[in-house]
Structure 1
Amino acid sequence: MLIRYSRFPRLIRSYSIALSYLYNKDPKCKSCGIILQNDSPEKPGYYIRYEKKTPVVKQSDLIYKKYKSKLEDEEVIQMNNTEDSNDSKTVLSCIRCRQIQNYSNFKLEIDQYPIHNLSTIMTTLIPRNAPIVYLFNSLDFPMGINPEIFKFRKPHEIFFIMTKSDNLIQKETAYENYTKQFIEDYLNKKYDVPKENIFITSGKKNWKTFDLYNGIPDQSYIIGSTNCGKSTLINSLLLNKELKSNSSMSFQKRKKFMNRFKNGDGPGTSYLPGYTRDIIPVQIGNKTFFDVPGFTTTSNLLNFYKSMSGKSINQVIKGKQMYKHGTFKSEYFTIKNKQILNLQGLGYVVIPSDSIFQIRNVTNLNLSIQKDLEKVQQLIKDTPVSMKDNFLTNVPLKSMDKYIVPPFFGPVDLVLENIGYINIKPTGKKLSNELIEIYLIPGLQAVLRQSILSYLSKSFTGLDKNYNPLRKENWYEKSTLKLKRYNEAEPFHSKLIKVNEEDRIGNGSNEEVLRKKLGVIYDESVKIDDNNKYLFWRE
C-alpha cells in the first residue's frame, strides 16, 4: 500500500459522518459548490427551479409495462443491459455556471468569482488535521507550491500531486524516470516531504489514476492554486472508477457514458479563476474527496483575467509541450540590442544593449519582437488591424508593474504563472552587465528559474569521453551527456526585482536598484560565471 492510514486514525472516524451531513444538507450547484437559492437573481447561487411535468402515458407503454411485470428478475436485468435508459438524476446548476458552460457568457466580478489566499482556505474551509492533497501545475513549477502550507501541516501530512504533466513528458511511462525523480528530489530535499507522498499525473490523459486513488486517504481535501487542475483530476478519478465498475460495457455504451459524464456527473471545470466557489464533496468508490476552491497569492488576479476575453484566457492557460518546444532541438528565434520581446500585450521584455539571446517559447502566447519601448507605446495606443493578434490587451506601460531580472549565467527560464515559460539563452560574447527589464500586467506573476530541461533530460557536458573540454561546435557530435540532480544548496528559482518610483531616487539605474534591494554591489567590474551565477538570486 502506498499510504499509511495510521496517520489519520481518529480523524476518519470522528468527522466523516458529520461532514457528509453538513455538505448534503442544502442543495448545492453541481459545478461550483455554492448553496443554491431561487429568491434573488442578482445574488450568487441563483438557479431556476424546474417543475417536473407529469408525462403523457402512451397505450404502447402500458402494454410494455404489463408484460414486463410478468418477467423474472433475471430476465429484466438482462433486458436492461441491452437498452439505453432514459432515467437520469437531476443535476442542479446555478445560473452563473449554466451561462459559462452553455454560452461562454460571464462577467468577472468578485462576488461571483471569489478568490481567497491559502490562509483563508485552510482556516475557514478545511477542518483541523483533515488529510490534505496539494496540487501544483507543471506549467509554472515551482510557482504553484506555496511554502505557507507548512504552517498548517507537517510535510509528512501532505500529499503532493503535479498535474498537467503531459505538458512536460510525452508518454506516461516516461514519468517513471527523470521527471518523477526530479520532483521527488525537490520536494524531499527542500521541504522534507516523503517521496511516497509525491505523485505525477495528467487528469486530461488519466495518467496514474489507479495509483492516486489508492495512494491518497479517504476524506482528503484537494487544494491548489487557481487553474491547477483540481476538478479535472477529480473527474479523471471518478471516470476511471466508473469505467472499471462497468468493464463489460460495450464500446458504444462506454462512449455515451463518457460523454454524459463530461456533461455533468463530476465537478464543473472551467478556465476561469474562482469558478469553484465552495467545497464540493465527491464520492468515488468507497472514498470521499473534497474539491476545494483555488487560492492565489496576488490580489490582482481577477483584474488580470478581466483584461482579456474568455477566448483569450482559454488560449493562454492551455500551455505548450516542453518536449516539443523546449528542447535544444526545438525551434527558436533571436532577439538583441534593446529590442522588445512582446508577450502578446501581457508584458514586455527589454533586451540590454550589446546582447543576443535565443528564445524558445514554451507558452501558448504569440510572441513577437518590437523595435523599442517607444514603438510599443505607439502600438498599445493605436494597434493596426494587421497586428491585433499580437495584443491580447492594451494596458499602457505606465500601468504595468516593472521588474529587473537578476544577473544569470547560461540558459534560464522566465516562468509565467499559469501560462508556461520562455527559455532565454545568451549567445555570443557578453559585452555589458546591463540588466534585462520586464513590464508585466498587474496580476501576472513571474520568476526566473534554472532551465528545467537539464533536470528532465540528459544535456551536454561540453566534455568528451576523456573529460577534455570541447569547442561548442563539436558538442553535438562528441560531448558526453549528464543528468542534473536537484541541489538544495543552490537556488532553483529567483524572484524578479520589483522597481517602484521611490527606487529611482538618486542614481536611478537598474544596477543601483539591484544594490539597494539586495545589498550586493553590481557594476561593470562584476563578472558572472559558473562559480557565482546564483549570487544575485533570491527565492
Structure 2
Amino acid sequence: MRKCMSLFSLSSRLLFRTTPVRSVFSTFVRKSSILGNLLPACSTCGINLQNVDKNRPGYYYIAESNEKPIKEADKNFANIYKNLDQEDKLLLLNDSQSSIVPDQTFRRAASHNHDDPNHISCLRCRDALFRSKFNPDEFPVESAESILSQVDPLGNIVHLVSAFDFPLTLNPALFKFKETRDIKVIITKADLLFAHSKTANNYGLKFYRDYLFRKYGILPENVLLSSGKVDWNIKELLDSLSDNSYFIGDVNVGKSSLIKSLLYGDEKFHLKKQKHQQLMSKKEKVKLEKEEDYLINNADLSYSKTTFKTKKLERSREQNFKAKHGPGVSYMPAFTRGVIKFDLKNFGKSIYDVPGIGSEDHGIYRWIKEPSAIKQLGKGTSIPRTGNYDSHYTTVKGGQIYTVGGIFCLRIPPESMVQVRNCINFEDVIFKNIEKAKQVIREQSGNSAIDNKLLVSPETADNFIKYVFPPFYGNIDLVIKGIGHINIKPVGKYVTDVDPFVVYLPKGAEVVIRKPIMKYISKTIVGRDKKGNPLSKKHRVSKGVKEVHPYTGEVFYSRLVPVKEEVENLNQYVRAYCENMNGRKVGDEIDEESISKEYWIEA
C-alpha cells in the first residue's frame, strides 16, 4: 500500500510539472482505471454516482440491494387492489382459478441494466427518461466559463450551434478561449431548415460559412453542417474531427444526438469499407451500379420492395445501436451533467460530451407547464413548409395580440396589418388586446378549451416584460431561443410615425429579430424579372425571378428594446435608446440599409 502511495505521489508531481493545473484532475480521472472504478459515472448524464443519499445528485440503486423502486402507478394500483373484496378481485382478474400477488407487478426494480455493469444510470436520469419528470432544480445549467473550466486546455473545441434559432445559440465567448482558426463549428438540426441534404450543402452551408468568417474569422473549412436525426454529412464529420474534441454548445442544440450518430457512423462506415474491400472488386461495383440503374429506370416493383425492406432494416439497426450506445438523449434542458468520453475506435479519435450552456433560470423553459411541451417544441417544424414565401399565413390587424401557446405576446401597431408565418411547432392564437391575453393565461386552469391552446403556466401572465422592436424594413423573423421563429410581413404602405411593434416576453426569455433566414438559404422572389426590371406586387410571384441572397457582412439581427415604464412616445424612446446603445446619431432616412445600420443592436 505504501509503495502504491509513493508511486501515486511521484506521478502526481510529474503530472503537475507538465500539465496545466486546471486539467490535472480531469486528465487523471479519465486515464486512471482504479479511480474510475472508485468513482463510477452515470452513463446517461456523466455525473459521479453515489448510493448513500437519495436527495443528493448522482444517487443510483445497487443491483444487489433489496431496495426496489416502485412506480407511482403501481403504488396507486396496490392501494386500490388492497381495499377490494375477494369477489371484486376475481372480477378484475376475469378468472376464478387465478390469483394475483400485487407485489409481483413491481419486479422491474433496478434503476439500471443488471446485465451491463458499465451502463449505470442515476435516479434522476431514470425519472426523466421513463417518467417525464422535470424539476428545474435538478437540472442546473452552467455558464460558458464553468463549462470551459472543465475542458482540457490542449483539447479541441467543437462548437455546436442550432440552425432553427440561429444565431441565438452561437456563443462568441468560446472564441476567447481558443484562436478562431482552431475552432470547428457544426450547425445542427439542419433537417428543420432544409428538405434535402443537397440543398443544405449547396445553399445553407455557404451562408453559415460566410457569416462566421465575416463576423468572427472562423475558417470556412472549419464550419460543417449536420443533423443527428437524419445523419446528414456524418462521414464528413468523422473525417474532419480532430482527436480529443470537446462538443460544446447551449442546452438542447443536439450534442448528444449527434454523438450517437457519430458512434453509429464509426461502426457503419468501418463495416461497409471492410465488406467492399473483401467482397467487391472495381469491376463488380460498376456492374452492380448498372444493374441498379436499369431496375430504377424500369420501375421494377420487386426492386422497390426490396429497397424499402433494406432501408427499413437498416433504420431498425440504427435505432437499436443508438439506444445502446452514446450519451443519454432527452428533451429536458441541461440533461448532461458531466464530461463523458466516447471513442471513435475505427477512426482513432476520442470525443467528449459536456454539459450544455444556458441561463441559470432555464430561460423560457421555466415557464413551460408540461415536460411534453418542451419535447414538442424541441422537435421543431419543417421551415420549407411553414416559413417560405408561399406558405400559409395568419393575418393579424392593428392592436391585436398574436401568440403561440402564450410563449410571447406580439402587439401589432395601430392602423397596421401583418401576415405571420408560424414556424413553431404549436398552433397560434389571436387576442383582442394584452389585457385579454393575460387574463386567459392566468385563468386557464380547469378550462380544457383554453388549456389546450396554451403551453405556459398561469403565473407567466404576471411575469411578462415589455419590449419594443427597433424599426425594420420589409419582413423579418422574430426568433425565440430554443423554440423557433415566426416570420412577420407588414402589408400595405410603410409608416414611420405610428407606434412600433411591442412584444411581451416571460422573464428570462432570449429573443431577437433578424433578416428573414429563408432568403439566405433558399431561392426566394427578388421582385424583378429576368431582365432586371422591377415588378409590381401582383406580378412578383408569376413573373419574378428566384435567387439566393448572398451574405455580404450586413447587420443580420438585432436585440429588442426593453421598456421598463410607460412612455408617451415609443418612437422617440426607441430612437434615444438605440442612439445610446450604438453610440451614433440616428438619421432620418428610412430604408433597409440605414435602419439596420443605425437602429439595430447586434452586440
Do the two structures share a fold, i.e. TM-score over 0.5?
Answer: yes
- Asked if structure 2 preserves the Cα contact closer than 8 Å seen for 1:423 and 1:451, the reply is yes
CA contact (8 A) 2:439 2:461 kept: no
Within a 5 Å distance, the mapping from 1:109-508 to structure 2 comes to 109=137, 112-122=138-148, 124-247=149-272, 257-285=317-345, 286-296=348-358, 298-301=359-362, 304-305=365-366, 307-383=368-444, 384-393=447-456, 394-431=458-495, 432-488=497-553, 490-501=554-565, 504=566, 507-508=567-568
Change (3 A) 1:509 1:301: farther
Instruction: Specify whether residues 231 and 526 from structure 1 end up closer, same or farther in structure 2 by C-alpha distance, changes over 3 A only.
Output: same
Return the alpha-carbon distance in structure 2 between the equivalents of residues 476 and 496 of structure 1.
Answer: 32
**Aligned with 2:452: secondary structure?**
helix
Distance 1:135 1:195, change over 3 A: same
Displacement after TM superposition at 1:344 (Å): 0.9
Equivalent residue for 1:32? 45
Question: What does residue 3 of structure 2 align with?
Answer: none
Question: How much does 1:464 deviate?
Answer: 2.2
Q: What's the offset of the Cα at 1:284? A: 1.6
Paired amino acid for 2:143: N
**Which residue in 2 is equivalent to 1:64?**
none
- Distance (Å, rounded) in 2 between the aligned partners of 1:467 and 1:213: 44
Aligned equivalent of 2:7? none
Q: 1:22 to 1:333 in 2, by over 3 A?
A: farther
Structure 1 residues 90 and 409 mapped into 2: Cα distance closer, same or farther (>3 Å)?
same
Q: How many residues align?
A: 485
The CA deviation at 1:255 is 6.3
Structure 1 CA distance for aligned equivalents of residues 207 and 484 of structure 2 = 18
- Is this contact kept in 2: 1:36–1:46, CA < 8 A? yes
Cα distance in 1 for residues equivalent to 2:189 and 2:464? 29
The equivalent of 1:107 in structure 2 is 135
State the 1:430 CA deviation.
Answer: 3.2
SS at match of 1:240: helix
- Offset, 1:146: 1.3
Q: Which residue of 2 aligns with 1:45?
A: 58
- Tell me: CA distance 1:254–1:307, structure 2 relative to 1, closer, same or farther (3 Å): closer
- Counterparts of 1:227 and 1:22, CA distance in 2: 31
Q: 1:31 to 1:421 in 2, by over 3 A?
A: same
Q: State the shift of 1:108 in Å.
A: 2.2
Q: Deviations over 1:416-441 (max 9, x none)?
A: 10111100001112344310111111
Aligned residues of 1:404 and 1:497 also touching (Cα < 8 A): yes
Is this contact kept in 1: 2:469–2:502, CA < 8 A?
A: yes
Query: Deviation at 1:30?
Result: 0.5
Which AA in structure 2 matches 1:299? Answer: E
Aligned position for 2:296: none
CA drift of 1:261 comes to 2.8
Change (3 A) 1:103 1:409: same
Q: Which residue of 1 aligns with 2:30?
A: 20
Aligned partner of 1:536 in structure 2 is: 599
How far, CA to CA, are the matches of 1:347 and 1:303 in structure 2? 10
Match of 2:570 in 1: 510
Q: 1:400, CA displacement in angstroms?
A: 1.2
Letter in 2 for 1:354: E
Partner letter of residue 108 of structure 1? P
- Deviation string, structure 1 residues 54-95 (Cα, Å, up to 9, x no partner): xxxxxxxxxxxxxxxxxxxxxxxxxxxxxxxx9756411101
Work out the CA distance in 2 between the residues paired with 1:355 and 1:527: 21
Alpha-carbon distance, 1:303 to partner: 7.2
* Structure 2 gap ranges (5+): 1-17, 67-113, 276-308
Name the CA distance, whole Å, in 2 between partners of 1:189 and 1:303.
30
Secondary structure of 2:534's counterpart equals: coil
Q: Which has the higher helix share?
A: 2
Decide whether aligned partners of structure 1 residues 108 and 280 sit closer, same or farther in structure 2, where only a CA change above 3 A counts. same
1:254 and 1:38, CA in 2 relative to 1: closer, same or farther beyond 3 A?
farther
Compared CA separation, residues 171 and 437, structure 1 to 2 (3 A): same
- Percent identity, aligned pairs only, is 33
Alpha-carbon shift at residue 459 of structure 1 (Å) = 2.2
SS at match of 1:186: helix
1:265 deviates by 1.9
What one-letter code is carried by the residue in structure 1 that aligns with 2:134? F
Cα-Cα RMSD:
2.8
Q: TM-score of the superposition, structure 1-length normalised? A: 0.84
Q: Tell me the distance in 1 between the aligned counterparts of 2:530 and 2:317.
A: 56
Alpha-carbon distance in structure 2 between the residues aligned to 1:446 and 1:462 = 29
Q: Which entry has the higher C-alpha Rg, 1 or 2?
A: 2
SS at match of 2:396: strand
Contact 1:300 1:442 in 2 (8 A): no
Indicate if the aligned counterparts of 2:225 and 2:233 stay in contact, CA closer than 8 A. yes
Cα separation, partners in 2 of 1:362 and 1:145, compared to 1, 3 Å? same
Give the letter aligned to residue 406 of structure 2: G
Q: Secondary structure at the match of 1:377?
A: helix
Q: 2:409 touches 2:505 (CA, 8 Å); kept in 1?
A: yes
TM-superposed deviation, 1:509: 3.1
